[in-house]
Amino acid sequence: MKNRLILASSSAYRKQLLEKVCPTFDCFNPDIDESPKPKETPELLVLRLAEQKALAGKTQFPKNLIIGSDQVCCINGEIVGKPGNHQNAVKQLKAASGQAITFYTGLALYNSETKQMQSLIDTFEVGFRELSDSLIERYLQIEQPYNCAGSFKSEGSGIVLFKHLKGDDPNSLIGLPLIKLCGLLESQDFELLT
């Protein structure tokens, strides 16, 4: 396919993930309102936002494949955002202690030439060990994951917090389900690793 690949994200994590399967692509900040609608489920929220992010580039990139992705973390059915600071991260990790939390990642691929949208939701579960206050403090001092939903980085030292991980693709937990994205790209005749 001659269409260039576009990532509708300003996330450094998503950029690094996409580089695994496609070393050359462009990025833009989709700058959309990410507020949930009343009574919107986490699954519908991430799907809607992923699609809106992909569509945000349709005018700027008229003959491209545009990837949109969005993720939320839920503890006991409640959406948990990025902590932003140490105090909030402590609260999030204490709430996650001994719990299984779910990450929902919406993925959309929009072909701006054919106007075709493909989208899906990927789910990943993280089971947390019982976390002591001292382990939480040590972890946060080392990693400082204040811009990560759930207050941890699974690809880093966060592994010490977990009892189990359940999902099809560990990349999904970081923010971009690459296995499913590869399938969507191939359905558009996009050659991976080019």
- H or E element that contains 149: none
Give first-to-last CA distance, the chain, whole Å: 11
| Catalytic residue selected from 26, 70, 169, 189 | 70
**CB contact at 8 A, 79 and 101:** no
70 is catalytic: yes
Measure the CA dihedral 177/66/29/53, to 10°.
-70
As annotated, the active-site residues are 70
